[in-house]
Amino acid sequence: MQARGPLMVEHRLIERMIRIIERSISRIESTGKVDPVFVDTAVDFVRTYADRTHHGKEENILFRELSKRALSETDRKIMKELIDEHVFGRHTTKALVEATARYRRGDESALEEITGKLHTLVDFYPRHIEKEDKVFFPAARAYFTDEEEERMLKEFWEFDRKVIHVKYKSVVEGLGRDEKA
Ligand SMILES: [Fe+2]
Ligand SMILES: [Fe+2]
């Protein structure tokens, strides 16, 4: 299997979540209300799955290996764009978290910000994924031998294996801090 295999499988799950988020925007717009628990779940998906697990493997393994290769100018430029888009996704999610916290405290004006950031995620992710699936991943294949692809896959599995432990350690540490506060 090529290294892009599991990444493309993950893209399909991210797309499914994006469609659910898209439907939630219509609900928010028709009722004038947001369910903060839904936003928390969407944020957790984006942060833990899309960012830490998925972008994590892209940046820390695939892009790291590609950066050691003599990439064409176009491929290097696209890789930089993809990394910038990951950063943009993180900033958008952070702003969404902050707006949801304001909404919970009773600030109704945060609703517009929440809808705006959800719209941004719905708009940005499919385009990012398409650029990887259709342009960058096929181009990246040319820089690796089959053995190198296999080695990256092994590293992917190891990376995934660790994520769940890091995630729940941080959950427990967060709750421990809240108790002390
Ligand atoms: Fe990406
Ligand atoms: Fe991706």
> 93-118, pLDDT tens digit by residue?
999 999 999 999 999 999 999 999 99
CA distance 51 to 89: 8
CA of 175 to the centre of ligand 1 (A): 30
Which residue intervals of the chain are DSSP H helices?
A: 4-31, 36-44, 56-57, 64-66, 73-104, 110-130, 137-141, 146-180
DSSP letter at 134?
Answer: I
**pTM for the full model?**
0.94
CA of 19 to the centre of ligand 2 (A): 16
| Phi, psi angle pair for 143, to nearest 5° | -90, -5
CA distance 155 to 159: 6
CA of 123 to the centre of ligand 2 (A): 15
Helix (H) or strand (E) holding 133: none
CA of 31 to the centre of ligand 1 (A): 33
CA of 45 to the centre of ligand 1 (A): 15
| Ligand whose nearest atom lies closest to the CA of 4 | 2
pLDDT tens, 3-37? 999 999 999 999 999 999 999 999 999 999 999 99
